[in-house]
Amino acid sequence: MKIFIGADHRGLELKTKLIEYLKENGQDITDCKTVSHEGDDYPDFAYEVCQNVLETKGLGILLCGTGIGMSIAANKIKGIRCAKVSNENEAFLAKNHNAANVIALSYKLSFEEIVPIVDIFIVTKPASEERHLRRIEKITEIENGTFKL
């Protein structure tokens, strides 16, 4: 599976380490290298990663100051389900219960903390239980403007 990674200036150093780690472990990684500098804007990186995820049905990883801004920007893109995660359990639940195709992380987490989070996100199977699929369908209806209570 193709994995796309993007980071603003705050997540740049961590992104570089993560790309190296993932490539060493056989992952197919694309560095979405929108120019990163002190005055960059995280929505640019979120957009580039998410467009690639949609085109390839791959996964995305976003890094910024808190992960919150990236997550908000990513979730404005139809077809993206981005979760701001802080630990392994959240990474598992985001994908297994909510069919997340992108995660957003804070650069304040250490490399040692991020590695297992990303590993879990990559290997976790998407949602398959009826109750989760029903809820994901409702999210899609909200996104499409067809949701009704």
Q: What is residue 35's predicted lDDT score, i.e. its pLDDT?
A: 66
Beta bridge partners of 106: 64
pLDDT at 119 over 80: yes
> Other CB atoms closer than 10 Å to residue 39's CB: what's the count?
6
Inter-residue contact 20 to 83 (CB < 8 Å): no
Residues 62-91 pLDDT 10s: 999 999 999 999 999 999 999 999 999 999
Beta bridge partners of 61: 5, 103
Residues 21-39 pLDDT 10s: 999 999 999 999 866 677 7
Angle between helices 111-123 and 88-96 (to 10 degrees): 20
Pull the structure tokens for residue 122.
Answer: 């990559």
Mean per-residue pLDDT over the chain, rounded: 95
Task: Tell me if residue 40 falls in helix, strand or coil.
Answer: coil
Tell me the whole-structure pTM to 2 decimals: 0.95
Domains, the chain = 2-144 (3.40.1400.10)
Write out the catalytic residue numbers.
Answer: 64, 97
Q: What is residue 33's predicted lDDT score, i.e. its pLDDT?
A: 80
Q: How far is CA 145 from CA 75, 84, 140, 148, in A?
A: 15, 24, 9, 9
Q: What is residue 39's predicted lDDT score, i.e. its pLDDT?
A: 75
pLDDT at 122 over 90: yes
Inter-residue contact 97 to 90 (CB < 8 Å): no
At position 3, the amino acid (one-letter code) is I
At position 145, the amino acid (one-letter code) is G
> Other CB atoms closer than 10 Å to residue 141's CB: what's the count?
12
Q: What is residue 37's predicted lDDT score, i.e. its pLDDT?
A: 72
